[in-house]
Structure 1
Amino acid sequence: MPNPIFPQPEAPAAVSPIRVLLVEDHKMVAEALGAAFEEFAEIDLVASVDSLAEGLAAAEEHVPDIVLLDRRLPDGDGIEAITKLRDVSPTSRVLVLTGDANSAIAARILEVGGAGLLLKSGLLDELVTAIRGVAAGDIVIEPELLSGALAMLAGNPGGAIPVLTLRERQVLGLIADGAGTDRIAGELRLARNTVRNHVQRILAKTGTHSKVEAIAHARKNGLLERP
């Protein structure tokens, strides 16, 4: 019987695995990733398909947390399919795998709502770290590519110039430097939930829908300058 005076501590809540859909037409790569993901309890590969058509159907069926998407597929351009993927599974975030990358490719991905870009030549640990980051709401792109991509996107028209607090500008500045939630929390000595709350307020004030849009808007309007 439980002791009413000295109650037992509650067991920690189980963490749900990150549900991943892989869209990759190279069978060897797909099989290698599938086998590798089995070693990570935090990743649940819900489906592996080799075309955009199958990817759209699988995304609608499984509603994965992450769609790991090859950029070049037999039936089309993966980047052009991001909007369709988000239409059939709005809560899914898309991480693009590619053999080559530049700022223009990164800008295309961000413009259509993608959450990141990773080179296929990278290490498995880098991919797993990227999946974790994207699942946590981060944008995962090499800082140099991200900087160039944001410069391209900054030319898009934005809304009225918002008034951000000093803390909001600090958070936005770190995001623009490529920092994820954990790094921002560490540098500013904030809780992760507090960082997320700041991000939500920044998005609301700037009238944007993602961190990338907020950064582009802020750069255009000088909001990343020191207060």
Structure 2
Amino acid sequence: MTRVVLVEDHDMVAEAIGQALERAGIEVIARASTAAAALAETRHGRPDVVLLDRRLPDGDGTALIPALLRDGAKVLMLTGDATASVAARVAEAGGAGLILKSARLDELVEAVRRVAAGESVFDQKLLSGVLDRLTGRVKHAGATLTTREQETLLLLADGAGTEQISTRLGVARNTARNHVQRVLDKLGARSKLEAVSIARREGLLD
């Protein structure tokens, strides 16, 4: 029997998924609602598959994948929305697949079974984009952002203006302005708002 740790912070969603898996003969050995709990349950239970929500209260589920793999689990990412960039990040981290929360429950059950059997499961609409990005034919937006520019982007997402960015980063106002402009240039954005929108679409902000 396939053994699963289900990581989902919305109780109703988790309940529905858990019941569907159990009806299909897949054992849900534990449920978790945070990244920390997911790690603990996976290390304790040694599941075949971790069905992992991408957005958790204490962090980005994608960043959790390498640690889960070290504990011997295969990871199937569960997300409310996805782009080729998001799917590529999951694949690059070692995830075995990605399925949308809008998928039917029988599709989700089948995806879990396929991942447990060693297959990769990515939505066909995203697959070509994933391959393009993984082979380097298409660079994802933000691929060349420096650490300081990534910090600037996070501050922009929090609604910070140039003066606040200058203060938070401990740099001169002109330097902060230059960081912002480089973020806009690298994301192909015409405004701060558009830069944040592109970053969210590309999975750079969670």
TM exceeding 0.5: yes
> How is 1:42-57 mapped onto 2 (pairs within 5 angstroms)?
43-57=26-40
Q: Does 1:139 align with 2:123?
A: no
Kindly state the Cα deviation for residue 39 of structure 1 after the two structures are TM-superposed. Answer: 1.2
Give the partner amino acid of 1:24.
E
Q: Does 1:115 align with 2:96?
A: yes
SS at match of 1:48: strand
Which residue of the partner structure matches residue 22 of structure 1?
6
SS at match of 2:44: helix
Kindly state the Cα deviation for residue 85 of structure 1 after the two structures are TM-superposed. Answer: 1.3
Q: TM-score, normalised by structure 1?
A: 0.59
Q: Does 1:84 align with 2:67?
A: yes
Which residue of the partner structure matches residue 61 of structure 1?
44
Which protein is richer in helix relative to its size? 2
Following the alignment from structure 2 to structure 1, what is the Cα–Cα distance between the partners of residues 21 and 100? 17
Which residue of the partner structure matches residue 19 of structure 2?
35
> How is 1:140-179 mapped onto 2 (pairs within 5 angstroms)?
140-155=121-136
1:96 to 77, 86, 100: 77
Give the partner amino acid of 2:6.
L
Following the alignment from structure 2 to structure 1, what is the Cα–Cα distance between the partners of residues 111 and 18? 16
CA deviations over 1:12-40 (Å, ceiling 9, x no partner): xxxxx110000100011111222222212
Kindly state the Cα deviation for residue 133 of structure 1 after the two structures are TM-superposed. Answer: 0.8
SS at match of 1:111: helix
Give the partner amino acid of 1:60.
R
SS at match of 1:81: helix
Following the alignment from structure 2 to structure 1, what is the Cα–Cα distance between the partners of residues 120 and 90? 11
Q: TM-score, normalised by structure 2?
A: 0.64
Which residue of the partner structure matches residue 4 of structure 1?
none
Off by >6 Å, runs of 4+ in structure 1 = none
> Residues 92 and 134 of structure 2 are in contact (CA less than 8 Å); yes or no, is this contact kept in structure 1?
yes
> How is 1:197-212 mapped onto 2 (pairs within 5 angstroms)?
none
Following the alignment from structure 1 to structure 2, what is the Cα–Cα distance between the partners of residues 36 and 142? 20
Following the alignment from structure 1 to structure 2, what is the Cα–Cα distance between the partners of residues 37 and 110? 24
Which residue of the partner structure matches residue 168 of structure 1?
none
Question: Which deviates the most, 118-127 or 78-87?
Answer: 78-87
2:86 to 80, 105, 109: 105
CA deviations over 1:83-107 (Å, ceiling 9, x no partner): 11112x12x1100000001100010
Following the alignment from structure 1 to structure 2, what is the Cα–Cα distance between the partners of residues 117 and 136? 15
Give the partner amino acid of 2:98.
L
SS at match of 1:59: helix
Identity of aligned residues (%): 54
Give the partner amino acid of 2:115.
V
SS at match of 1:38: helix
SS at match of 2:5: strand
Count of matched residue positions in the alignment of Structure 1 and Structure 2: 137
